[in-house]
Amino acid sequence: MSSKVKYMTATASQEGQRIDNFLIKTLKNLPRSRLYRIIRKGEVRVNKKRIKPEYKLKLGDEIRIPPVELEQNADSRAAVPDDLMQKLSASILLENKAIIVLDKPTGLAVHTGSGLRYGAIDVLRLLRPDEDIELVHRLDRDTSGCLLFARTRQSLLAMQNLFKTSELRKTYLAIVKGHWDPAVKTIQHPLLKQTMPNGERKVFVDEKGQSAHTEIEQVTHFSKAGVDYSLLRIRLLTGRTHQIRVHCKQQGHEIGGDPKYGDREFNRLIKTIGGGRLLLHALSLEFPENVYTKELQIVAPEPQEFKILTGTL
């Protein structure tokens, strides 16, 4: 079934929403690969201009939606394995009327795109089909742990504001190469995104970049089978792309199992003793008292790989 060109105006309830998420809701039976293709090719326009999937709508934006071939019997559930649906349903750490906190497994992207058929947000929307589930923040595909979703537009904006003001605290665990100097407790190098000649997107320390603030709260050293490494407990005060990974690399202590910024030899060695993944875990979210939650801390259990490497298994 083919649709016609449609023009829509962004309302107050849609302000701040990503254009890809807006289209996912508007074109419910359109395959995700096709959806991202029409954005990339410029067939979707906002105020007559091309936009990227991460563009956030502003009140009064005029959105052009092109004619598309809709699948009458599309069923996105078929693309998501039943065992993953069950696993994520059992991995919900907190759920109330406004928010959901999920213990995201390593290897699962947070959303579709770049050839991926589904992400954590898609699974959550299938588990709660009658709700407008939105991502409050993001985790890298291979990072595990606490991932926050909003169940209403109002709670989405409130949680995002708590992140911006650092009132909602994010704490991570990372296992890095070598012995981290415990005296190094603060890293504030600005970060700049760049697209490489091969199309890969990477982040670099650069004075022209965005401010980024990482705090190291605790350091524990280990040596196992001749491999020296450190367990860091990290607090993020800003949420830049790949922030922890790049800040650790800048200090000469790359995160274990990192294929993009890591040390190849260290990755090989740490894998032989149980570190066969990106060794970065979003350990906890600490909420201040607000209109949607009381003051509380949500903790994602330490992954098995971390327990093996720290001797707690």
Residue of 274, 299, 277, 276 lying closest to 286 (CA atoms): 299
What does the pLDDT read at residue 195?
87
What does the pLDDT read at residue 70?
57
What does the pLDDT read at residue 3?
59
User: Tokens in use for 129?
Assistant: 């089909």
Do 85 and 37 touch, CB atoms closer than 8 A?
no
What does the pLDDT read at residue 74?
45
DSSP string, 171-234: EEEEEEES---TT--EE---EEEEE-TTS-EEEEE-TTSB---EEEEEEEEEEETTEEEEEEEE
- End-to-end Cα separation, the chain, in angstroms: 55
At 87 the three-state DSSP class reads helix
- Residue 16, Cβ neighbours under 10 Å: how many? 16
Catalytic residues: 140
Q: What is the pLDDT along the chain (313 residues), one digit of tens a residue?
A: 455 788 999 887 788 889 998 888 888 778 777 888 899 999 999 999 999 999 999 999 999 999 887 544 444 444 788 899 999 999 999 999 999 999 999 999 998 765 677 889 989 988 988 888 889 999 999 999 999 999 988 899 999 999 999 999 999 999 999 999 999 999 999 999 998 888 888 999 999 999 999 999 999 999 999 999 999 999 999 999 999 999 999 999 999 999 999 999 999 999 999 999 999 999 999 999 999 999 999 999 999 999 999 998 7
pTM of the model: 0.80
Question: What contacts 87, CB < 8 A, 6 or more positions away?
Answer: 105
Domains and CATH numbers, the chain: 6-65 (3.10.290.10), 76-152 (3.30.2350.10), 162-310 (3.30.2350.10)
